[in-house]
Amino acid sequence: MISLRLRSKAFGDQAVLGAFELQVAAGDRVAILGPSGVGKSTLLRILAGLDSQFDGDITRPERMAMVFQEPTLLPWRSVADNLRLATGASRDTVVQSLDDVGLADHLDKYPGQMSLGQQRRVALARALTARPELLLLDEHFASLDADTAIGMRGLVGELIRDRDIGVVLVTHDRSDAAAIDATPLRLSGIPATLGAV
């Protein structure tokens, strides 16, 4: 589904990522663990096609979705419009997607009227409404209070359980990986390389 053979990634003269390979097939769940600043989000941006300035080869699926650390919702659009504009989905599909994340009664609200946890659920619903073959999650559970983070981990695990999609989660917390039954890999070193935990 997605196959990366990375030789290097640098910002100017500073090498950030070294040589490694990563393959994620349909149904695989992979968690990239590592401390802040090691290059996890840089790797995710390469996988997503948002960063093409690297030395290596990559093959991506046609349909991918990414959920960023921040919800990246349009504040001047309703929740329903945020899903519909990004995916082209019908109103019925949007309603079902929001129901899947427990927010069917928030269709006409605006992002500013919702908590961060609710906004994160909207962003997740938007990503899954696109019916991706590969879902990329960039520290999706970070900066939430403990109870909200536990609920969000459970929700993500439930929503991807019966979907034949690949998932790559970037996190610094091993419990995030365990919550979605992901294979943990560690990004470490200077420049950082990927290996088993």
In 47-133 the beta strands, taken as DSSP E runs, fall at 55-59, 64-67
Q: Is the pLDDT of residue 142 over 70?
A: no
* pLDDT average, residue stretch 49-57: 96
CA–CA distance, 44 with 67 (Å, rounded to integer)? 11
For the segment 69-126, what is each residue's pLDDT rounded down to a tens digit? 888 999 999 999 999 998 999 999 999 999 999 999 999 999 999 998 899 889 999 9
CATH architecture of 1-60+167-197: 3-Layer(aba) Sandwich (3.40)
For the segment 121-136, what is each residue's pLDDT rounded down to a tens digit? 899 999 999 999 999 9
Mean pLDDT for all residues in the chain: 91
Sign (positive or negative) of CA dihedral 12, 15, 16, 17? positive
Domain coordinates of the chain in residue numbers? 1-60+167-197
The pTM assigned to this predicted structure is 0.91
For the segment 6-22, what is each residue's pLDDT rounded down to a tens digit? 999 999 999 999 999 99
- Decide if 26 contacts 97 (C-beta within 8 A): no
The number of angstroms, rounded, from the C-alpha of 101 to the middle of its chain's C-alpha atoms is 16
Q: What is the CA radius of gyration of the chain?
A: 17
* pLDDT average, residue stretch 135-162: 78
CA–CA distance, 13 with 25 (Å, rounded to integer)? 33
Helix (H) or strand (E) segment spanning residue 32: strand 29-33
Which pLDDT does position 143 carry in this prediction? 65
Amino acid at 1: M
